[in-house]
Chain A
Amino acid sequence: QKEVEQDPGPLSVPEGAIVSLNCTYSNSAFQYFMWYRQYSRKGPELLMYTYSSGNKEDGRFTAQVDKSSKYISLFIRDSQPSDSATYLCAMLNTNAGKSTFGDGTTLTVKP
C-alpha cells in the first residue's frame, strides 16, 4: 500500500466550478503538506504549504488538512481554463527530511 494515495482523476469541470482535490496518507511522520501544480512538460510549482490541521486560504485556493483522519484537500473556487494542469499533493517527513508525492490528478477546466 502506498503511503500517499491521491484521487486519480482525470477531472473535467466547466469554468467557474468549485474543484476539490484529495489525498490520504498513512504515515504519521508526515507533518507538513504541500500542493503543487504542474503544467504539461514543466516542473511542479508550489501552490500551498501547510502544517496545522484546518484551512489555509490563498486567493482562489484553499488547502485543508485533517491530521486526525490523515486527509488533505485542495479547493479551487471559480476555476479558470488556466487552472488546467496536474495537481500533486506532497507530504514532508520531518524525521527523514524528504517528501513523498501522490500520483497526481489531472484537471481540465472547460470554457
Chain B
Amino acid sequence: DGGITQSPKYLFRKEGQNVTLSCEQNLNHDAMYWYRQDPGQGLRLIYYSQIVNDFQKGDIAEGYSVSREKKESFPLTVTSAQKNPTAFYLCASSTSGYNEQFFGPGTRLTVL
C-alpha cells in the first residue's frame, strides 16, 4: 500500500530533551512538509522540502530542525529550544510543491 507513515503515534518526553519524529512516504513524492496543530487551531508550517538535500523554514521553524537525505524520509527533531513543544505533529507529501498534499496519521507529542 502506498502512503505516508509517521511513528510513533504517541510520544512522551521530559522537558529539555530533544526528540525526533519519523516520517516516511512510498509515494515517490518530491515534496514533504511538517506541520504543527494545536487544539482548535489550523495547521502551521514548520519546515518543507521540495527536493532531496534541500529544505526551507516555514512559519514557525524556531526550535525545530529537519534533514532530507533520502527522498522517502523527512525526520523532524524537536529541540529543547522549542518553548512549547506539546502538540499534534503532521507530516505531508506532494508530487511537487505545486500540487495537493497528502497527510500521514500524525504524532501526538507530550512533553512532561
Contacts and interface: CB of A to CB of B under 8 A. Distances in A.
Given A98-B33, A98-B45, A101-B42, A42 B105 contact: yes
Q: Report the interface size class on chain B.
A: 20 to 34
Interface in B51-69: 58
Interface residues of A, number: 24
Interface residues of A, dominant DSSP: strand
Contact of B42 (A42, A88, A92): A88
Contacts, number: 61
Contacts of B40: 103-104
A108 B99 CA distance: 30
Given A97-B31, A97-B50, A101-B42, A43 B100 contact: no
Interface of B: 4, 6, 31, 33, 35, 40-45, 48, 50, 58, 88, 90, 96-106, 108
